[in-house]
Structure 1
Amino acid sequence: MKKITLIISIFTLMLATSCEVGDFGDSFQDNPNLLTPDQANPNFLLNNVQKETADLIQDLNRTTDEVMRYTYLNESYTDVAGPVVLNGEYTRYFAFVEDASIINDLAVDNDDLLFHRGMAAVLTSYATVMMVDYLGDIPFSEANRADEEVVNPKADDDEIIYNSLLEQLDSAIEDLGNATIAPVNDLFYDGDADKWIRAAKSLQLKMLVNIGDTAKINALLQEDNLIAPEDDFQFQYGTNAADPNSRHPDFNVGYEPGGFGQFLGNDFLNLLLNDKSIPDPRLRYYVYRQNNADPSDALLGCVGSANFDFCYLGGSYYGRDHGDTRARATDAIFRATYGLYPVGGTFDEDNPSAPDFAIDTQNQLGAGILPILLSSFVDFLRAEAALTLNTSDDAATLLESGIRKSMDKVLNFASGVATGSDFAATSDEVDTYVTEVMDAFAVADDDEKLNIVLKEYYLASYGNSTESYNGYRRTGLPSVFNSPIFDSNTPFPRSFSVPEDAINNNNQLSQHPITTQVFWDANPAGFIK
């Protein structure tokens, strides 16, 4: 990580005059060759905050992909949420929050940095929300205060942190509204303060749905200034394969020369293939089949076994069941892998038995996106809140809007590179899918209506498993998931373990079990699997 390290060097100069030590005053206390905070370049600091925030969100999502069945779980829940899992994320988080703190200090007497401060506050608020959602109580009020000799910061109550972040976002919105000079590099919105304000308000909505605050949600809805499709909060990856590798991290593992080193989850694939009367129109965009041959029964090793929920779904959609802890066979070239959306891979056109990723015309070479907070996500959150919190919204209208926004984004991804294909989804297929969902919603009771909303949110949030992880803990839905096949009694991680490195370096922190619930998770113990 490129980070300006701030060091004050104290030195003593001996003056050999009359055998006395002279008093040189404060001017000799700072090393003139090293930077102090007031000399730091806010644009460089903000660049790092932007990149590190995206990396943190991506890393947390990729960890939770296994928990939420987008990829298969090949270990126990205890392992996937264990003490060493978030060591790196935890350390990097506090490092770039320090950069944001320096930006904040530089902006105190400099109105030219209001945009910088507002952006940094939105980004670090988002990162902090995610850390709280995964870990619960974390150091906050005393964090990054080593200059005040706070070397073992206490962990603050997670609910108090949430409330502080809501206020921090209000201040960021005010800064962005008053800003006149944009940063040199805005990797998200190209210097558009209005889009940043909508992103900040949408993050507040996401937090308030977790909290369950109807009045504040209705106030946000009354303002009518949330993310629209043109404001989608996302991070764009590039195609550079050399160091530094700018490609989507899942492209890097999904398009290795020897094949896909992971498996997609059969629970997820089954929903795409079999949940409706037609396959999900997003299927060929979400999933790329490396091979058009079925794996043999011997290679599968699960045919006819009562332990497995699916084993193999057919049609070369070769994934694995949730909690399949068997060793991986030499079948990497048979596995279904990530598709065009969101990782910038390949659109599936009934591929040959020996694909060459490099020459597939729809392969975007890793120029995918990290979907952080999309307009479709906002609609699903609002639909959920209408059902559970009795907000002023109409759940049915927002459910349909969320589905259609997701379909439009996925089917037209990468400037519509797949729209001319004979295998591209049609508007009739989208209409059929939407009509089927809305017909089921119309006759469902309240519980099933919520289940439908959370299932469609789950499918639309592919690429951001944190959204479905939070939704699953909030509601226990969608009710379509199978327990781990070989270790079904392992408790579901209601939070992740406190990183081991953090405990070793901070005597105020202690470990908690993965059954510990964050403050907004008020559901009974053991109600999800």
Structure 2
Amino acid sequence: MKKIKILIYLLSIILFASCELGDFGDDLQENPNLLTPDQADPNFLLNNVQKEVADLLQDLNRTTDEVMRYTVLNETYSDVSNQASLNSEYTNYYAFLEDANIIFDLAENDESLLYHRGMATILTAYATVTMVDYLGDIPFSEANRGDEQILNPKPDDDAMIYATLLDRLDIAIDDLANSTLAPTNDLYYDGDAEKWIRLAKSLKLKMLLNIGDRDRINVLLAEDDFITSDDDFQFQYGTSASDPNSRHPDYNISYRPEGFSTFLGNSFLNLLLNDKSISDPRLRYYVYRQSNTDPSDTLLGCVGSSIFNFCYLGNAYYGRDHGDTRSTGADRNLRATYGLYPVGGAFDEDNPSAPEFAIAAQNQLGAGILPILLSSFVDFLRAEAALTLTTSDDSAALLESGIRKSMDKVLNFANAASGSTFAATSADVDAYVLEVMTAFAAADNQGKLDIILKEYYLASYGNSTESYNGYRRTGLPSVFTAPIFDPNTPFPRSFSIPEDAINNNNQLSQRPITTQVFWDKNPVGFIR
């Protein structure tokens, strides 16, 4: 009995002590290991936004590479744009928006963060525009407001989102014009606010062309403050193969012992090889041939079949036709693959070898770029606007300028082909430009537009989002054919709403891939 009393006494002391020690007061109830938004470092947050925007845009481009014939469509349009296609992209997009929102909140009372806010506004606007271009209506005004108990944000009208973003870009321009302190790391423009301003205006041009707003485009043209060749908006990859792997994603799937995991598209290769009287000067920079041996007829499996548009283009340019869903053989080391530009691979000098051994001076080991919005792209956009909206620009001059800027960028990429006897010359470029411009001068307006979109398609290699938008906007270039095995499948005018988003948000419902985004006003079935 005495032992029991002692035990009760000891327990009561422990209980009393624990109560006393647990009364820390309200000011000591916060977890010291959990940062609150106001304690976050805006430089770290902005670093993440910069990287995640590039990752998002790269992932979207790689998804539409198949749709736009740069690589083979080895499935159906429905498969490539189904409800699982953009699950990770959708999730990651809203995740880095949260970081951007914290920057916006911090900048409300801190003028030293105007540059940070301007950058974050432009980057998130670019990402949001691209998501709208792929998906149409998405959660926007109610997105990332969980602190307000908005757990099922409604989708907003895509035209309204565009209008809001155009206004935000004007605010970002003002922020950058009045900024005094650059962030610790500006991965794109190294602390040059003027370059960000030119990017914002170039993004506005791209958006206004989509919606066909001639008057507002003319205002931008009068300002004449677009990105130049020194301001190209691109993300630079590294050469590290270890964790984290910093190399261009398409380098990673090409330059390895087992060979190239997919095929380049024969339609794209044919344009480079055979569309003009001479091969495209960018050919050896864009494409690397792993072999100098033609694949056998048995391996090809398409020789003599009328269903194929190309089957095989010859001279070891081994790709596949659009919509070729056949299984593949033991040919990964025979396929033409990504070259020097833009993935940082090898320049083709007629000395094919398996790419993992092509580590001569011409191989940049994956230090490629993601060409997001280049000065050449801006020229093509302006050329199209001049023709279709009768803006104050000269479409012919801008077409030529766009081609020459693209050639200059590709042919001088990393100076990797310098001194090679296979490097393209200025005479090659001049001959190419002369042929294009002669055809342009002789064409009617529809033919002129077709030429502009074809040259833009070739120049935007590495950024199929631009081609995807242009194709839906104009139905051009006209050289594209339907998938060979499934010619009646509908072209994805937009992508399916991700399955994970629908499962987690009762305000969302699925839409067919024939749903057109607001600026796509073309007839049903006019592209294939």
Q: TM-score if structure 2 supplies the norm length? A: 0.95
RMSD: 1.6
Letter in 1 for 2:428: E
Offset at residue 28 of structure 1 (A): 4.1
Distance in structure 1 (CA, Å) of the matches to 2:186 and 2:281: 33
Identity %: 76
Structure 2 distance, partners of 1:342, 1:356, is 17
Partner residue, 1:301: 301
> 1:100-111 maps to which residues of 2 (within 5 A)?
100-111=100-111
User: Which residue does 2:373 correspond to in 1?
Assistant: 373
Provide the rounded CA distance (Å) in 2 between the counterparts of 1:443 and 1:518. Answer: 34
Could you tell me which runs of 5 or more consecutive residues in structure 1 were left unpaired when the two chains were aligned: 1-13
**Separation in structure 2 between the aligned mates of residue 503 and residue 517 of structure 1, nearest angstrom:** 19
TM superposition shift of 1:24: 7.5
Aligned partner of 1:504 in structure 2 is 503
Contact 1:286/1:339 (<8 A) preserved: yes
- CA drift at 1:357: 2.8
Q: C-alpha offsets along residues 197-242 of structure 1, whole Å, 9 cap, x if unaligned?
A: 1011100100000010000000001111001000000000000000
Name the residue aligned to 1:8.
none
Native 8 Å contact 1:154 1:508 kept in 2: yes
| Inter-partner Cα distance in structure 1 for 2:427 and 2:249 | 34
Matches within 5 A, 1:480-495: 480-495=479-494
Equivalences, count = 514
Q: Against the structure 1 CA distance between its residues 396 and 332, is the aligned structure 2 distance closer, same or farther, given a 3 Å change threshold?
A: same
Q: Offset at 1:34? A: 1.5
Q: 1:23 to 1:313 in 2, by over 3 A?
A: same
Residue pair 1:232, 1:374 contacting (<8 A) in 2 also: yes
Larger Rg: 2
- SS of match in other structure, 2:253: helix
Amino acid at match of 1:404: R
Q: In the TM superposition, what whole-angstrom CA distance separates every residue of 1:46-73 from its partner, at most 9, and x where no partner exists? A: 0000000000000000000000000000
Q: For 1:417 and 1:212, how far apart are their aligned partners in 2?
A: 40
- State the 1:30 CA deviation: 2.7
- Aligned residue for 1:311, secondary structure, equals coil
Q: Within 5 Å, which residues of 2 pair with 1:448-459?
A: 448-459=447-458
Determine if the alignment matches structure 1 residue 203 to structure 2 residue 203: yes
Q: Read off the aligned partner of 2:64 and give its amino acid letter.
A: T
Given the alignment of the two structures, is residue 161 of structure 1 paired with residue 161 of structure 2, yes or no?
A: yes
Residue 181 (structure 1) aligned with residue 181 (structure 2): yes
Q: Which amino acid aligns with 2:395?
A: A
Given that 2:125 and 2:165 are in contact with CA atoms closer than 8 Å, whether structure 1 keeps it comes out as yes
Match of 1:469 in 2: 468
- Alpha-carbon offset, residue 31 of structure 1: 2.4
Kept after mapping to 2: 8 A contact 1:403/1:460: yes
* Structure 1 equivalent of residue 343 of structure 2: 343
Matched residues in 2 for 1:470 and 1:126: separation? 14
User: Is the alpha carbon distance of 1:102 and 1:355 closer, same or farther for their aligned partners in structure 2, counting shifts above 3 Å?
Assistant: closer
Distance, in Å, in 2 between the alignment partners of 1:240 and 1:354 is 20
- Could you say which residue in structure 1 is the equivalent of 2:421? 422
TM-superposed deviation, 1:21: 13
Q: Report the alpha carbon displacement of residue 359 of structure 1 after superposing the two structures with TM.
A: 2.9
CA contact (8 A) 1:384 1:453 kept: yes
Which residue of structure 2 lines up, in the alignment, with residue 31 of structure 1? 31
Deviation at 1:26, TM superposition (A): 4.4
Shift of 1:284: 0.2
Q: Partners in 2 of 1:250 and 1:206 — Cα distance?
A: 26
Deviations, residues 22-49 of structure 1 (Å, cap 9, x unaligned): 9976424532332111000101100000
Contact 2:292 2:352 in 1 (8 A): yes
Indicate how the Cα distance of structure 1 residues 353 and 178 shifts in structure 2: closer, same or farther if over 3 A, else same.
closer
Residue of structure 1 equivalent to 2:407 = 407
Kindly provide the CA deviation profile for residues 340-379 of structure 1, in whole angstroms up to 9, marking residues without a partner as x: 0000000000024556535322000000000000000000
1:89-104 pair list within 5 angstroms? 89-104=89-104
Contact 2:248 2:367 in 1 (8 A): yes
Please give the per-residue CA displacement for 1:382-429, whole angstroms capped at 9, x wherever unaligned.
000001111000000000000000000000001x22021000001111
* Amino acid of the structure 1 residue aligned with 2:47: N
Alignment correspondent of 1:228: 228
Letter in 2 for 1:148: E
